[in-house]
Amino acid sequence: MAADLPSLKIDVKEVSKRFGRTWIIRQLSAEYTSGTIYGIRGRNGSGKSTLIRMLAGQLSPSRGSLRYTLGDHELPVEDLYAYVSWTGPYFELVEELTVREFLSFHFAMKPLLPGLTVDGVVERIGLQHAARYSLTDCSSGMRQRVLLASALYAATPLLLLDEPTVTLDASSAEWFLEELHACATGRLTFIASNDERDLSACDTISSL
């Protein structure tokens, strides 16, 4: 399933972010490269999701810069969306769709990792019995598996996972860690979390 994805490097240079008069992130500098799972921890409100949004190119820093290098070319931030898979607690599902319809719709826009099909994804997330359930009728853990699938199985070099196991029970969290290892190879992955299980999957962890 490992994809031959281009390498991605993110250079974060003296990035600060404020909302109104409050500085949330101050003077962050780091270099992030493909092939690594980076953990970001920090107390509630410390700016983990804010950093994830900036890495995704959805939020601009108040000061400093983020530079993206894909292969050996600089990637303009406005083109980054095609190379990112992302999920977090603020992501919403289209309630009217079934599990299978949502995944078909999503993977019509974002290519799947090699060797996967939509039905294969439904199987990997253990929801064969619920493939035709409307998302409204799914439990929070089932919905989280669908959201995680939309990020994990997309063939993108950048994978951003904000609180990936927040609604998962112990066996689902174990499932997530196994799938993460199968899907993160060669990608640049971030996990924002305070859950030790999530952080145990990371190659390196930094605190905000």
Ligand X SMILES: Nc1ncnc2c1ncn2[C@@H]1O[C@H](COP(=O)(O)OP(=O)(O)OP(=O)(O)O)[C@@H](O)[C@H]1O
Quick one: tokens of 8?
A: 């991605």
Whether residue 104 contacts residue 135, with contact meaning beta carbons closer than 8 Å, is answered with no
Residue 156 CA to residue 13 CA, distance in Å, equals: 23
Phi, psi of 9 (to 5 degrees): -125, 135
Rounded to the nearest whole angstrom, what is the least distance from the CB of residue 6 to ligand X in the complex? 29
Pick from 186, 113, 191: nearest CA to 152: 113
Q: Which is nearer to ligand X, 60 or 128 (CB)?
A: 60
Q: How far is the CB of 53 from ligand X (least distance, A)?
A: 8
Beta 63-70 vs 73-75: how paired, if at all?
A: antiparallel
Smallest distance, ligand X to C-beta of residue 193, A: 9
Nearer to ligand X, 104 or 194 (CB): 194
Q: Identify residue 13 by its one-letter amino acid code.
A: K
* DSSP per-residue codes, 85-142: EEE-TT----TTSBHHHHHHHHHHHSPBPTT--HHHHHHHTT-GGGTTSBGGGS-HHH
Q: Would you tell me which residues interact with ligand X (CB under 6 A)?
A: 19, 24, 42, 44-50
Q: Least Å distance between CB 195 and ligand X? A: 11
Q: How far apart are CA 121 and CA 150, in angstroms?
A: 9
Q: Which is nearer to ligand X, 136 or 207 (CB)?
A: 207
Report the nearest approach of ligand X to the CB of residue 189 (Å).
17
11 or 195: CB nearest ligand X: 195
Q: How far is the CB of 24 from ligand X (least distance, A)?
A: 5
Asked if 2 and 158 count as a contact pair (C-beta separation under 8 A), the reply is: no
Q: Which is nearer to ligand X, 16 or 69 (CB)?
A: 16
Q: Which amino acid is at 17?
A: K
Q: For residues 65 and 207, which CB has a smaller minimum distance to ligand X in the complex?
A: 207
